[in-house]
């Protein structure tokens, strides 16, 4: 009977904070205050949303221009079944909208009952969020404009604090299937075994196994190699600032590149049961496993790597280590 195909939900997330500069910062500050800005381009036209450089001439741009809150739909597409990752739960139209006073369109959502209520050329107006923070989502969306709505550009309040930075969330959720070699590796981890694959040409052993040699491009299956849970630190880094997405890690802590005995290529692991200042290149380490009753098909069965107390590894493969000079040292 064939082994069950392994799958698991996987979230790839990398939020970061970026500085905005005067143009993008001015645009976001305006949104927070209920004002929409474009930027004047080299030919005198107004681009909204603004960019810091002219897309035609590459000249730097700096003159912000307030535009209207009413505009014209230039093209659109209907989204009748929004996905979970999309910002709206009700059906809506994605539309390119050229605001009054702007010469280029912006992408945003138009809320109507059905696609029959959408049309190219229709007039729409901004719906603002009640609480605004300086983000494109301060515009909740657009709705069909009533004939009496002019949407004249609003005046920017004086003495407002300029937005200097913005946090950008990046998140992708999907179902991961590890493949045959990595599936064997994960099943072995439940038994506290570490598997690698061996290149049929060079003999190099890699952990975790990929099923194909990264050097020769030839398959390594079906044979995988059992490796001990001991090795040495080839390089390391001490992290002294907290990472928001890893509240379980208390600085300072060590991230180390671990090369197992019998392996040719290392992998990342956490240092454990050692002061960061005592970690060194060549230090002998062993795996710290979860309790047996908590083991599962996961590389997280290894909580980290602790010193064995053995003499340091003498590193002689300087071409691979690169930064080390013969004689050792960091």
39 in Cβ contact with 23 (< 8 Å):
yes
Does 110 have pLDDT greater than 80? yes
Query: Is 220 inside a domain boundary?
Result: no
Does 27 have pLDDT greater than 80? yes
Q: Are residues 236 and 124 in the same domain?
A: no
What's residue 19's pLDDT?
Answer: 93
Q: Are residues 132 and 48 in the same domain?
A: yes
* Strand 64-67, strand 46-47: pairing: unpaired
Q: Are residues 104 and 235 in the same domain?
A: no
HSE-up of residue 59 (Cα within 13 Å, Cβ side): 11
In the block, which residue shows the tokens 């290529």?
265
Can you give the residue range of the structural domain that contains 34? 16-163
Q: Over the stretch 143-176, which tens digit does the pLDDT of each residue have?
A: 999 877 777 887 888 888 999 998 888 888 889 9
What is the average per-residue pLDDT within 4-15? 86
Q: Over the stretch 240-278, which tens digit does the pLDDT of each residue have?
A: 999 877 888 999 999 999 999 999 889 999 999 999 999
Query: Is 139 inside a domain boundary?
Result: yes
Q: Over the stretch 125-152, which tens digit does the pLDDT of each residue have?
A: 999 999 999 999 999 999 999 877 777 8
What's residue 220's pLDDT?
Answer: 87
What's residue 59's pLDDT?
Answer: 96
What's residue 2's pLDDT?
Answer: 58
Sequence-distant (6+) residues with CB within 8 A of 313 are 232, 282, 283, 284
Query: Is 193 inside a domain boundary?
Result: no
Q: Over the stretch 276-322, which tens digit does the pLDDT of each residue have?
A: 999 999 999 999 999 999 999 999 999 999 999 999 998 776 555 44
Higher pLDDT, 218 or 294: 294
**Banded pLDDT at 330 (limits 50, 70, 90):** very low
Query: Is 171 inside a domain boundary?
Result: no
Query: Is 197 inside a domain boundary?
Result: no
Name, of 111-120, 220-229, 309-318, the range with top average pLDDT: 111-120
What's residue 1's pLDDT?
Answer: 47
Percent of the chain with pLDDT strictly greater than 70: 95
- Single out the residue in 140, 163, 186 at which a domain terminates: 163
Does 234 have pLDDT greater than 70? yes
Query: Is 302 inside a domain boundary?
Result: yes
Cis (ω within 30 of 0) for the bond into 49? yes
Q: Are residues 143 and 253 in the same domain?
A: no
307 three-state secondary structure: strand
Query: Is 123 inside a domain boundary?
Result: yes
267 in Cβ contact with 282 (< 8 Å):
no
Percent of the chain with pLDDT strictly greater than 90: 70
HSE-up of residue 80 (Cα within 13 Å, Cβ side): 5
Q: Are residues 21 and 158 in the same domain?
A: yes
Extract the runs of DSSP E, i.e. beta strands, from 41-151.
Answer: 46-47, 64-67, 70-79, 92-99, 106-110, 123-128, 139-144
DSSP, res 83:
-
What's residue 317's pLDDT?
Answer: 62
Q: Looking at the 3D structure of the chain, how many domains does it have?
A: 2
What's residue 86's pLDDT?
Answer: 82
- Single out the residue in 122, 138, 163 at which a domain terminates: 163
- Single out the residue in 163, 180, 211 at which a domain terminates: 163
Q: Are residues 243 and 327 in the same domain?
A: yes
Q: Are residues 245 and 330 in the same domain?
A: yes
Query: Is 7 inside a domain boundary?
Result: no
What's residue 318's pLDDT?
Answer: 55
Q: Over the stretch 73-96, which tens digit does the pLDDT of each residue have?
A: 999 999 999 887 788 989 999 999
Q: Are residues 40 and 150 in the same domain?
A: yes
């Amino acid at each position: 009977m064939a082994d069950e195909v392994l799958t698991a939900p996987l979230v790839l997330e990398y939020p970061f904070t970026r500085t905005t500069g005067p143009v993008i910062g001015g645009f976001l500050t305006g949104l927070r205050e209920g004002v929409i800005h474009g930027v004047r381009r080299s030919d005198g036209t107004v681009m909204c949303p603004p960019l810091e450089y002219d897309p035609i001439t590459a000249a730097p741009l700096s003159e912000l221009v307030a535009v209207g809150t009413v505009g014209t739909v230039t093209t659109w597409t209907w989204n009748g079944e929004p996905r979970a990752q999309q910002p709206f739960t009700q059906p809506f139209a994605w539309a390119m909208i050229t605001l009054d006073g702007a010469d280029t369109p912006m992408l945003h959502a138009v809320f109507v009952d059905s696609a029959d209520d959408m049309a190219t050329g229709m007039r729409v107006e901004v719906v603002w969020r009640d609480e605004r923070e300086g983000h494109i989502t301060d515009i909740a969306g657009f709705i069909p404009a009533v004939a009496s709505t002019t949407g004249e550009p609003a005046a920017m309040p004086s003495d407002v604090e300029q937005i200097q930075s913005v946090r950008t969330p990046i998140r992708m959720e999907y179902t991961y299937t590890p493949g045959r070699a990595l599936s064997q590796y994960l099943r072995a981890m439940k038994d506290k075994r570490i598997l690698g694959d061996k290149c049929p040409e060079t003999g190099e052993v890699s952990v975790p196994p990929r099923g194909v040699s990264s050097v020769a491009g030839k398959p390594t299956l079906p044979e995988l190699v059992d490796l001990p849970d001991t090795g040495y630190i080839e390089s390391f880094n001490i992290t002294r600032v907290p990472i928001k997405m890893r509240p379980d890690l208390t600085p300072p802590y060590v991230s180390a590149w671990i090369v197992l005995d019998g392996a040719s290529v290392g992998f990342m692991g956490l240092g454990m049961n050692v002061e960061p200042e005592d970690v060194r290149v060549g230090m002998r380490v062993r795996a710290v496993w979860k309790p047996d009753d908590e083991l599962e098909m996961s590389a997280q069965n290894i909580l980290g790597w602790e010193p064995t107390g053995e003499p340091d590894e003498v590193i002689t493969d300087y071409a691979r280590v690169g930064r080390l000079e013969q004689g050792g040292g960091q």
